[in-house]
Structure 1
Amino acid sequence: MALVKAGIVVLDCAEPEALAEFYKELLGAEETDVSANRIEIRSADGFRMAFRRDVNATPPSWPRPENSLQAHLDFVVDDLDETERGVVGLGGRPMEAKDPSGPFEERGYSDPSGHSFTLRRNTSPAPKQG
């Protein structure tokens, strides 16, 4: 039996209403719990996020020169180019301009409050056509 019932990714930010709207649009999610200082959303597949008001919040520094690890979000997508246009249209910003080599195609972004996240597409094992 699990000790924990559910997990929720919580991001601190100065304006939880605006950041919740960004992720609601990105994930096709709905608000599930709203208070003066916290908004929680849930996507159709059950992924849960919350946004907590911190009037002193500052954007994280990413990537750090010393290449330290810090928390970020990974989202799996079908079409990187189409999703990137949507992210930028919602106020997100590209953080990395190149696609790294390897079994995944991925691109780094920051949300409007500066939290980092990655869009990742699993590549097919078959060679690219065209």
Structure 2
Amino acid sequence: MAEKRGLKLETVVLDCPEPLALAAFYNDLLGWNGVSGDDRWASVSGPDGATVSFQRDPGFRAPTWPEGERPQMLHLDIRVDDIDAEHDRVVAVGAKPLGEVQGSPTNGFRVYADPAGHPFCLVA
């Protein structure tokens, strides 16, 4: 067992052209506690203390998923009870479907892109 060193993950940071807009998307997607920050850095935090932050990158270019010139470097997996039941809601807040459900709606995953083009998965 590893020795505890007092380390705690502070946040996951995604580069993007518009931090406040992307933070608002993830806040709506996750149903979290609101957006904080400005046009250079914004964050959303969940009730359990999990945080996702967004850093302005004026030269940001979205990943080309699933492969290509700019492969994804990271993606978020978001647990849901039923992918089909969440599909319309995540599309309504601005997600773009990137494929069909792999596996079943209650035991599989589906890939989406956020408004900046970062892939993320709904996972059942």
Q: TM-score range by the shorter chain?
A: 0.7 to 0.9
1:50 alignment partner in structure 2: 53
Q: Which has the larger radius of gyration?
A: 1
Cα pair 1:28 1:44 within 8 Å, conserved: no
Pick closer, same or farther for the CA change 1:97–1:36 going to 2, 3 Å. Answer: closer
1:124 alignment partner in structure 2: none
- How far residue 84 of structure 1 moved from its aligned partner, in angstroms, is 1.0
**Cα deviations by residue, 1:86-109 (Å, 9 ceiling, x for unpaired):** 1100111111124237x9411010
- How far residue 7 of structure 1 moved from its aligned partner, in angstroms, is 2.9
Return the letter of the residue paired with 1:54: D
Counterpart-to-counterpart distance in 2, 1:7 and 1:59: 24
Structure 1 unaligned segments of length 5 or more: list them: 122-130
- How far residue 34 of structure 1 moved from its aligned partner, in angstroms, is 1.3
Structure 2 unaligned segments of length 5 or more: list them: none
| 1:97 is aligned to 2:103 | no
The DSSP-based 3-state class of the residue aligned with 2:109 is strand
Q: Percent identity between the aligned chains?
A: 38
| 1:14 is aligned to 2:17 | yes
Return the letter of the residue paired with 1:99: Q
Under a length normalisation based on structure 1, what TM-score does the superposition of the two structures give?
0.80
How many equivalent residue pairs? 119
Q: Of the candidates 101, 108, 119, which is equivalent to residue 116 of structure 1?
A: 119
Cα pair 2:19 2:38 within 8 Å, conserved: no
| 1:25 is aligned to 2:28 | yes
